[in-house]
């Protein structure tokens, strides 16, 4: 029987999430993410560390002007320092200056941490907790006490840790958050200890969980704590956070709603925003979305193996644990050397070619895919090259252009038609790349040369220069990403390399692949596939 108990969501992407290397949010980006989290229906958003930097202080001023419908803003701070008056502590006063109704107060819940790191007595550490909570409570703040190093401290000296929790609770704390700060406690321990604390306090809305992912179990630990009685769960979108990250709020919400019957985001319509929110935060944070992320990753419901894909086509539930549409995601079939005939036929039908190509053609295409992938191609990474391979099996297929020959020169030259040896931003650029190509199109042979900022750019420019008069529509096509991977490591400079190129126009983007022991040839294959695919799609 499902338990519809509401679980409180507390997101700390804007504070703890920004402690991950490579995540640095501007004030405007923090505001954008705040609005997106509010749209999802997160209960609490931890906006930043009050008083720690001007950006977070400005955030608390700006966020008050937002018309948030679902979320409450939390300012984060720490207990007073040892042996000073609470009202004189700079960080306590910063929490008051943030002017949020809710505050998160972190304090040491570990005898070792209090004595060795804070370098104070165990008694004074408890006074610091008690005094800080009591003072903020007297100022009409709702206080969430983050018991830092709780689980490690509990395993070392449980009596002292319980004293810390009781001091915060008796002083007016509204939540006691059990923190696995070092991320080293496994889910079974999390469950056992959380259950003991919940039983001790016997308050169904008091206990929260804050887990780090150092043992790759942060989400599992969070779920274990909920099953043991925790009411509030803390985490970061996409698992951002210091070291290996915090518990992934996206996965937590998916598990609470779809596996445990908990009410986390208030409505099924909100749950459908999960993929959108994950990708949106990735984009704002300038982080590439992780394609294999559960629930929301591009490949979370992608089927590659022939048997799996065949089963999925018969009944999607045979190889999917949920309907991806419920979290705003989609299913797909990845074509590779593992694909079966049914997967290829499905792809053919999707291209509208089912009345032209039959099962025998599908067998030929599979054979070609396996041959190409043994040479270093990866069609699951480049759907447009796969489509082009299928088009080439049409009985009336004629290429838009054919390569006769090309030559690329890379020269250390001071002056060129690109400039006087300097880039537009005035940085030095003495290397010149020039490409000469011969192609055949419409029964004409064209011989063209062009320069570029690198050999691939020169090839691209030469090809476009050859085709622009015949196919002026290619003017909207631009190369947006270029990546190279060594396929056969350990073979030195003779290794096969795979080039993936992403191109786009003003409507969509597409990806093509080339492979060769020569990086220029691999690049040419991917480049020419890109324009060939675009011209074919544009003519349909």
- Which pTM was predicted? 0.70
- Give residue 314's Cα distance to chain centre: 31
- Asked if 226 contacts 214 with a C-beta cutoff of 8 angstroms, the reply is no
What pLDDT is stored for residue 306 in this prediction?
Answer: 56
In this prediction, residue 124 carries a pLDDT of: 95
pLDDT of the residue at 420 = 46
Buried b (16+ CB within 10 A) or exposed e, 391-420: bebeeeeebbbeeeebebeeeeeeebebee
Report the C-alpha gap between 37 and 40 in whole angstroms. Answer: 5
- Looking up tokens 């819940």 gives 109
Beta-bridge mates of residue 486:
497
What domains appear along the chain, each with residue ranges and CATH number?
Answer: 8-284 (3.20.20.70), 302-371 (no CATH), 372-400+471-540 (3.30.160.340), 402-469 (3.30.160)
238: left (phi over 0), alpha (psi -120 to 50) or beta: left
pLDDT recorded at residue 462: 93
CA–CA gap between residue 7 and residue 191 (Å, rounded): 16
Crossing angle of helices 54-63 and 27-40, rounded to 10°: 40
Q: Within the chain, what is the greatest distance between any pair of CA atoms?
A: 90
What is the dihedral sign for C-alpha 453, 459, 460, 462?
Answer: positive
| Per-residue tokens: 281 | 């935060």
- The low-confidence residues of the chain, meaning pLDDT below 50, are 1-2, 416, 418-421
Burial class (CB in 10 A: 0-12, 13-18, 19+), 80: buried
- Phi and psi at residue 402, in whole multiples of 5°? -130, 140
| Residue 163, phi then psi, degrees to nearest 5 | -60, -40
pLDDT of residue 149: 95
Distance between CA atoms of residues 167 and 161, nearest Å = 10
Angstrom CA distances, 132 to 92, 104, 118, 123, 209, stand at 7, 11, 16, 14, 21
C-alpha distance from residue 21 to each of 27, 244, 442 (Å): 18, 10, 53
Distance between CA atoms of residues 82 and 230, nearest Å: 31
- As a whole number of Å, the end-to-end CA separation of the chain is 53
Residues in a beta bridge with 248: 236
Structure tokens at 282: 């990735």
The CB-based long-range contact list for 501-507 (8 Å cut-off, 24+ gap) reads 501/526, 501/527, 501/530, 503/477, 503/478, 503/479, 503/530, 503/534, 504/477, 504/478, 504/480, 505/476, 505/477, 505/478, 505/534, 506/476
Query: Residue 343 and residue 340: Cα distance in Å, rounded?
Result: 6
Q: How many other C-beta atoms can be found within 10 angstroms of the C-beta atom of residue 444? A: 10
Q: What pLDDT does residue 245 have?
A: 93
Which residues does residue 333 pair with via DSSP β-bridges, in sequence order?
303
Whether 250 and 36 have beta carbons less than 8 Å apart is answered as: no
The residue to which tokens 């003495």 are assigned? 430
How distant, in Å, are the alpha carbons of 35, 273, 298, 311, 522 from that of 316? 34, 21, 17, 7, 36
Is residue 281 within 8 Å of 238, Cβ to Cβ?
yes
């Amino acid at each position: 029987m499902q338990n519809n108990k509401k679980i409180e969501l507390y997101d700390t992407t804007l504070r703890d999430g920004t402690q991950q290397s490579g995540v640095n949010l501007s004030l405007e980006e923090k505001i954008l993410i705040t609005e997106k989290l509010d749209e999802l229906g997160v209960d609490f958003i931890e906006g930043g560390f009050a008083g720690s930097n001007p950006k977070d202080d400005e955030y608390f001023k700006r966020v008050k002007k937002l018309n948030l419908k679902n979320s409450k803003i939390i300012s984060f701070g720490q207990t007073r320092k040892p042996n000073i008056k609470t009202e004189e502590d700079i960080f306590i006063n910063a929490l008051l200056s943030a002017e949020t109704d809710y505050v998160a107060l972190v304090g040491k819940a570990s005898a070792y941490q209090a004595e060795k790191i804070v370098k104070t007595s165990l008694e004074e550490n408890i006074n610091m907790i008690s005094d800080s909570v009591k003072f903020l409570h007297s100022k009409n703040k709702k206080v969430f006490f983050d018991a830092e190093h709780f689980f490690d401290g509990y395993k070392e000296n449980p009596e002292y840790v319980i004293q810390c929790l009781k001091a915060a609770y008796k002083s007016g704390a509204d939540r006691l958050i059990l923190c696995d700060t070092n991320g080293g406690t496994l889910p079974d321990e999390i469950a056992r200890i959380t259950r003991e604390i919940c039983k001790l306090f016997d308050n169904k809305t008091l206990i929260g969980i804050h887990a780090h992912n150092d043992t790759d179990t942060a989400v599992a630990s969070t779920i274990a704590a909920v099953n043991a009685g925790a009411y509030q769960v803390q985490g970061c979108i996409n698992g951002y956070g210091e070291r290996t990250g915090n518990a992934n709020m996206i996965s937590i919400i998916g598990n609470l709603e779809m596996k445990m019957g908990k009410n986390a985001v208030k409505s099924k319509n909100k749950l459908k925003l999960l993929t959108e929110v994950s990708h949106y935060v990735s984009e704002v944070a300038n982080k590439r979305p992780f394609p294999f992320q559960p629930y929301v990753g591009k490949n979370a419901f992608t089927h590659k193996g022939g048997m799996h894909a065949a089963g999925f086509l018969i009944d999607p539930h045979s190889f999917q644990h949920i309907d991806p549409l419920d979290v705003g995601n989609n299913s797909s079939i990845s074509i590779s050397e593992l694909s079966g005939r049914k997967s290829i036929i499905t792809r053919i039908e999707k291209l509208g070619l089912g009345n032209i190509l039959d099962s025998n053609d599908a067998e030929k295409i599979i054979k070609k895919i396996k041959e190409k992938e043994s040479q270093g191609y990866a069609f699951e990474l480049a759907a447009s090259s796969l489509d082009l391979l299928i088009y080439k099996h049409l009985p009336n297929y004629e290429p838009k252009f054919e390569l006769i020959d090309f030559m690329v020169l890379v020269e250390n030259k001071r002056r060129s038609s690109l400039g006087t040896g300097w880039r537009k931003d005035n940085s030095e650029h003495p290397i010149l790349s020039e490409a000469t190509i011969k192609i055949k199109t419409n029964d004409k042979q064209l011989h063209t040369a062009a320069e570029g900022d690198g050999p691939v750019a020169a090839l691209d420019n030469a090809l476009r220069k050859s085709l622009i008069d015949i196919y002026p529509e290619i003017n909207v096509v631009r190369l947006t990403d270029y990546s190279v991977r060594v396929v056969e490591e350990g073979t030195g400079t003779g290794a096969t390399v795979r080039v993936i190129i992403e191109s786009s126009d003003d409507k969509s983007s597409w990806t093509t692949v080339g492979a060769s022991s020569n990086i220029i040839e691999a690049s040419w294959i991917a480049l020419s596939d890109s324009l060939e695919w675009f011209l074919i799609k544009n003519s349909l």
